[in-house]
């Protein structure tokens, strides 16, 4: 078949594109820079991310996705078109088939926005797959068996928790507390404790370098520069990883609570499978130091972080793409000729 099949992990903080037969070909921040006067796109991805908080008046660098869903339709469509073109070029064969990941709690309206934006960006057919299912497939779990697997996918905008069996999600929950909220919590902490105003990128760097959900055996110190709110001048302070435990306590506990709540609603047979098999964590937030320990402490079930946690959803999307006929019956929605409906419809 001449068409290229593509999987997209359309994340709040980053976009990953998987091309059938090639694997992950693109991984970029989901940021776009727009000239307000002409409404034209100036940059996207890493180039646009470098502009966050540093643009003159007529240029805005924005994230068009918020909490895992489209907050600005036109800009998302521009960004998708750009990334699809960058990943596969302008295919001489026509439009590709595209599978896109969405958080498990999205509404029909939000699904429609993703389907329409992808179609307008150049897809021939668009299929939707729920993030925790894609994450489970990407983490190497066999979700087709009548056996319970639990996945906790902590992305940028949402944390998706699901117990999966027979190719579908049995119990799910999606909360809008994830990597972006970690960044906000760090910014608030710095403002409250040090009277220091820090930017989005600084907060993210702190999360990556010293962020901790659980006290580390050995503390790490990082120098952080921001604007002192009292003097109005730049100031540098030293921050420890133990302070990050304090800063991140609230969102970390909220995620542990969501996992606990899903377990409480899980049928006993599947709960027994999860207890035996353990919980699998995926997504960038799974890499926060000690996050697995917090969930393990809360649930008393073994927690494993997937091997390539950040790419799991994109890899799972790609695998679902390879076996689209199998997954279309349970996990994927299809879009064809302007209509979205569940199941195959082939």
- Each residue of 150-172: pLDDT tens digit? 999 999 888 999 999 988 889 99
Confidence band, pLDDT 50/70/90 cuts, at residue 68: low
The reply to whether 30 and 113 lie within a common domain is: yes
- pLDDT (0 to 100) of residue 30: 85
pLDDT of residue 333: 55
Q: Indicate if 227 and 255 belong to the same structural domain.
A: no
Over the Cα atoms of the chain, what is R_g?
21
Domain boundary among 221, 249, 277: 249
Distance CA 67, CA 278 (A): 27
Q: 128-155 b/e with 16+ CB inside 10 Å = b?
A: bbbbbbbbbbbbebebbeebbbbbbbbb
Tell me: do 331 and 202 sit in the same domain: no
Task: State whether 123 and 239 are in the same domain.
Answer: no
Q: Do 244 and 292 sit in the same domain of this protein? A: no
* Least confident span in 91-100, 129-138, 143-152: 91-100
301 and 319 assigned to the same domain: no
Residues 72 and 114 in one domain: yes
Q: Are residues 97 and 48 in the same domain?
A: yes
Establish if 138 belongs to a structural domain.
no
Structural domain harbouring 300:
143-177+251-309
pLDDT in the model for residue 339: 42
**280 and 136 in contact (C-beta within 8 Å)?**
yes
Q: Examine residue 39 and state whether it is found in any structural domain, yes or no.
A: yes
Half-sphere exposure of 145 (CA within 13 A, CB side): 9
Same domain, 96 and 242: no
Residue 52 to residue 172: CA distance in whole angstroms: 34
282: Cβ contacts below 8 Å, ≥ 6 apart: 135, 138, 139, 151, 152, 153, 154, 305, 306, 309, 312, 313
**Residue 90 pLDDT greater than 80, yes or no:** no
Residues 240 and 265 in one domain: no
In this structure, are 213 and 327 located in the same domain? Answer: no
On whether both 62 and 112 belong to a single domain, the answer is yes
Total domains, the chain = 3
Q: Which of 133-137, 147-151, 323-327, 330-334 has the lowest mean pLDDT?
A: 330-334
Question: Does the structure show a pLDDT above 60 at 331?
Answer: no
The CATH number of the domain holding residue 112 is: 3.30.420.40
Asked if the model's pLDDT at residue 329 lies above 50, the reply is: yes
Give residue 317's pLDDT. Answer: 87
| pLDDT tens for each residue of 222-252 | 999 999 999 999 999 999 999 999 999 999 9
**pLDDT recorded at residue 40:** 83
pLDDT digits (tens, 9 = 90+) for 258-287: 999 999 999 999 999 999 999 999 999 999
């Amino acid at each position: 078949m001449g068409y290229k099949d593509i999987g997209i992990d359309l994340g709040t903080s980053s976009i990953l594109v998987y091309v059938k037969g090639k694997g992950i070909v693109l991984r970029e921040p989901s940021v776009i820079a727009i000239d307000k006067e002409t409404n034209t796109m100036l940059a996207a991805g890493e180039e646009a991310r470098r502009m966050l908080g540093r643009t003159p008046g007529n240029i805005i660098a924005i994230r068009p996705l918020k909490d895992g869903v489209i907050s600005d339709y036109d800009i998302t469509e521009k960004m998708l078109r750009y990334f699809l073109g960058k990943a596969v070029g302008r295919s001489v064969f026509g439009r590709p088939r595209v599978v896109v990941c969405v958080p498990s709690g999205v509404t029909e309206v939000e699904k429609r926005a993703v389907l329409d934006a992808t179609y307008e960006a150049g897809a021939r057919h668009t299929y939707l797959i729920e993030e925790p299912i894609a994450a489970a497939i990407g983490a190497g779990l066999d979700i087709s068996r009548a056996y319970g697997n639990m996945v906790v996918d902590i992305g940028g905008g949402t944390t998706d928790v699901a117990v999966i069996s027979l190719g579908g999600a049995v119990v799910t929950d999606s909360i809008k507390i994830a990597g972006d909220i970690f960044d906000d919590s760090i910014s608030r902490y710095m403002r409250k404790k040090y009277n220091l105003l820090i930017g989005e990128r600084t907060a993210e760097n702190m999360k990556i370098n010293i962020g901790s959900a659980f006290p580390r055996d050995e503390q790490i110190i990082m120098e952080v520069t921001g604007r002192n709110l009292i003097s109005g001048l730049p100031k540098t302070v030293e921050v420890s990883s133990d302070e990050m435990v304090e800063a991140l306590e609230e969102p970390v506990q909220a995620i542990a609570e969501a996992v606990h709540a899903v377990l409480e609603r899980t049928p006993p047979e599947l709960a027994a499978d999860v207890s035996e098999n353990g919980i699998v964590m995926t997504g960038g937030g799974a890499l926060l130091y000690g996050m697995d320990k917090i969930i393990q402490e809360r649930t008393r079930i073994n927690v494993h972080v997937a091997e390539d946690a950040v790419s799991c959803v994109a890899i799972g999307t790609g695998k679902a793409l390879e076996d689209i006929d199998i997954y279309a019956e349970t996990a994927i929605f299809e879009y064809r000729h302007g209509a979205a409906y569940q199941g195959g419809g082939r």
